[in-house]
Amino acid sequence: MKIVVLDGYTVNPGDLSWSNLEKLGECNIYERTSTEELIGRAKEAEVILTNKVVITADDMDQLPQLKYIGVLATGYNVIDIEAAKERGIVVTNIPAYSTPSVGQMVFAHILNITQQVEHYADEVREGEWTTCPDFCYWNTPLIELLGRKIGLIGLGQTGYNTARIALGFGMKVWAHTSKSRLQLPPEIKKMELDTIFRECDIISLHCPLNENTSELVNAKRLSLMKPSAILINTGRGGLINEQDLADALNQKKLYAAGLDVLSTEPPKADNPLLAARNCFITPHIAWATKASRERLVHIMCENIQAYISGKPINNVAV
């Protein structure tokens, strides 16, 4: 069985081993693959593994040996799922591998905004503390999380894990979720979407991106938020109208935003959020801890082993 990894670099830039994958078949592993290179590299493959390389119906028609596509991520919008179903091609994803790391990044952004650790480390390096007449020095608001309301938009595994961390900080947790109130633990309160935007001190996005959630955060909803509120997005960039968010930040209608995702990645140089006031952006790395990527590779191999045994798991093309 021939296995081709189209864009292995982001999953494994060299700090992990492909050895367990190589035990499953003849492997060709490419760091990156352009659209033009796809067919030539994958034409004899039964198994293709991709993170962000798009595979269309036309591509599938040109790959006669193809029986299995493994998406090395949770989201699988890079694959034409309907075309795969029509052709009997198994398509698997990697669910829940990054849940702990994403929750950690949510609070990395929250703590960066509320405590300004990098800002004060820089101030100390620049001598502001050594020349201060007092034993302590600060020039920004310092915000305690105890008792603050955090609103989670979506309460899947990452949302629920984030809720657990928030509860550890003594926060009040509200959630907009399709789950019924009876399915939620008593410490998580189910709330309507606009109520969350109106009342919460921090809002964190954990819902999928689809036609119902595209630009869910827009000028109208931002206008509901407190000027002291914080918006966090580790989900998908398309959940936010980026110009509307930049305007709200620059006009001080919103205190701050912490973002790990943008609508186009890498971002274009003219993305308004890159220069927006109190907007802290990390380059889509919430998922990328070594532990998270090790889980991804482990589940990837389990998926392929299940396919070989004739009992596919995590198959999204059903």
SS3 10: coil
The Cβ-side half-sphere exposure at 23, using a 13 Å CA radius, reads 8
Residue 107 contacts residue 165 (beta carbons within 8 Å):
yes
Of 87, 284, 294, 302, the active-site residue reads 284
Contact 317, 90 (CB under 8 A): yes
State both tokens at 97.
Answer: 């591998």
Q: How far apart are CA 217 and CA 222, in angstroms?
A: 7
SS3 assignment, position 315: strand
Three-point CA angle 277, 282, 287, nearest 5° = 150
* 206 flagged as catalytic: no
Calpha distance 34→204 (Å, rounded): 34
221 catalytic residue (yes or no): no
* Catalytic option among 31, 44, 118, 265: 265
Cα angle for residues 71, 75, 76 (degrees, 5° grid): 50
Q: Which residues of 115-140 are buried (b: 16+ CB within 10 A; e: fewer)?
A: ebeeebeebeeeeeeeeeeeeeeeee
Neighbours of 213 (CB within 10 A): 17
- 9 touches 31 (CB < 8 A): yes
CA distance linking residue 257 with residue 204, whole number of Å: 10
Query: Which whole-number Å values give the CA distances from 201 to 188, 193, 290, in the listed order?
Result: 15, 14, 32
d(CA 185, CA 187): 6
**Helix 117-125 / helix 99-115 crossing angle, nearest 10 deg:** 50
| 126 flagged as catalytic | no
Query: Tokens 């509120």 appear where?
Result: 229
Q: Which of 236, 242, 293, 295 is catalytic?
A: 236
Q: Give catalytic residues, as residue numbers.
A: 236, 265, 284
